[in-house]
Amino acid sequence: MTSYRYRWWALGFLTTAVFSVSLPATLLNVALPTLAGELGASSGELSWFVSSYLLALTATLLPAGVAADRWGRKKILLAAIAAFGAGSALAASATSPSVFIAAQILSGSAAAAVITTVLAALATLFDADERPRAVGVWAAGAFLALPVGPILGGLILTSAWWGWAFLATLPVLAAAVVGIAITVPESRSEDPATTRARGLLRGLHSLLSARFLSASAMAALGLFVLFGVLYGMPQYAQAVFGLDPAGSGLRLLTLLAGVVVAGGLSGRLTGRFGVRAVIAASFVVLALAMGVGAATIGPDGSPLTLAWMFAAGLGAGVVMAAASTAALEAVETSRAGLGSASFQVVQRVGGGLSALFSAGVLTAGYTAALGPLPGPVSEAARRNVFDGLRAADDLRSDAAAQAIRQALTEGLGHMLWLCCGVAALGAITAVLLLPRRSVAAAPAQREHTTTKGQP
């Protein structure tokens, strides 16, 4: 398949599709206050706005992988992009929380099918020599969506109708559909164990190799740390520096730059030094970045913030790109869809655990650091930092506001130390569990690919 002349064009269109459908996962974080007012949503409904998308995405990954292997990855991909567009249009036109939640379920399910089929397609388009570079490009697109979501959402929400936050990527997706239809060959598995309904459990059993599980775990740990930064730093920017959603999103640009550089470096580094050394070293960079951030974060800011955030994006980006390559190489191409889906499930677990533990540690540290405050301010501050700052402003108490900001930075410092520990654990486990060099999976014996235009 490496002689297929349009494979790099295909990679560009596939990466564009993944980037576009990955944006809502983090865009919603800055859109919730606006949606609360526009749709009259309660706090419980707001939590479902986010969780319904993520739950639908996670639940659909494995079935989508099996469907792609059975009926054709290109067919499933194009249908999923169309379904995502329908979900986006429904979200933008929603007039009630229930309709918006239904739209998020549709969009999340469609995004799962896009993400898993695109990664599976890379396994059939590129061989072991080119795959690290291809996966690096894919990873840059997938991981860029994490910081770009808040940036794009913040800019739209502060200058235009909120619905454009969900419609803005549809023209890009339309262009991607045309490109995919022209340049991406159809592929599917003809292994009966994969295409039968019970192939899900039999296929999963075949994926449970030490190499696949280790690579998947490394990606999950990298995503855990990255999600922690994405969760904490926008709150820090808004509470401490008084920035609006757009401004807090723009402060993530240095993290974004690190991820971009990582996408270009990962393939070359892995080919030269091996997957184990590259992932372990990247986790060390990530741990050092988190340690510097935890030690220097404060209510007055720090000149080192830009540096450690760039290093965090670089370290996390290389970890996840290299781990993606290693995981794909452990899977036969006849089960590329199922393997991609399984890998994505493990990654999403890492992101979910990060949201749980990072939020918990930050909140616990913030609450514990709150000292004596005036009665109304104390009660509001213990609900959340923004209510506390508004109450302090109403009382015109600069001392109370400063104390709240100090407490937030202490909580954020605790969270960054947690991320530092997780990154250090990743470095140790990479050395212990990963192979020294990448080893390509054996060629699939029963893979059917239909390619037009191949010389």
How is 212-251 classified by DSSP, letter by letter? HHHHHHHHHHHHHHHHHHHHHHHHHHHHHH---HHHHHHT
* Residues 95, 39 contacting (CB under 8 angstroms): yes
Angle at 402 between CA 364 and CA 307, to 5 degrees: 75
More confident of the two residues 80 and 448: 80
In a domain, 206, yes or no: yes
The position carrying tokens 């933008």 is 92
* Average pLDDT of the residues of the chain: 81
Q: What is the pTM of this model?
A: 0.71
In a domain, 398, yes or no: yes
Q: Please report, for the chain, how many H helices and E strands are present, in that order.
A: 19, 2
Residue 386's pLDDT is 77
What are the angstrom distances between the C-alpha of 272 and each of 234, 260, 269, 275, 323?
36, 20, 5, 9, 15
Residue 42's pLDDT is 67
Question: 238 pLDDT exceeds 90?
Answer: no
Residue 295's pLDDT is 94
From 197-206, 236-245, 368-377, 444-453, the region with the lowest mean pLDDT: 444-453
More confident of the two residues 199 and 329: 329
In a domain, 2, yes or no: no
Percent of the chain with pLDDT over 90: 26
Residue 90's pLDDT is 95
Coil/strand/helix, residue 89: helix
What are the angstrom distances between the C-alpha of 368 and each of 95, 105, 188, 200?
40, 37, 55, 47
CATH of the domain at 412: 1.20.1250.20
Question: 444 pLDDT exceeds 50?
Answer: no
Q: Which domain holds residue 170?
A: 7-440
How large is the average pLDDT for residues 337-355? 67
CA dihedral sign, ordered 270, 273, 277, 281: negative
In a domain, 447, yes or no: no
pLDDT band at 110 (very low <50, low <70, confident <90, very high): very high
In a domain, 455, yes or no: no
In a domain, 192, yes or no: yes
Q: Residue 392 and residue 240: Cα distance in Å, rounded?
A: 13
Q: Which two tokens stand for residue 11?
A: 């990679």
Give how many domains the chain has, as a whole number. 1
Residue 338's pLDDT is 60
Question: 94 pLDDT exceeds 90?
Answer: yes
In a domain, 431, yes or no: yes
Question: What is the longest distance spanned by two Cα atoms in the chain?
Answer: 76
Residue 334's pLDDT is 59
In a domain, 250, yes or no: yes
For the chain, what is the radius of gyration of the CA atoms? 22
The position carrying tokens 């909140």 is 363
What are the angstrom distances between the C-alpha of 132 and each of 257, 266, 320, 438?
20, 7, 12, 10
More confident of the two residues 346 and 68: 68
More confident of the two residues 446 and 10: 10
Residue 284's pLDDT is 97
How large is the average pLDDT for residues 315-342? 74
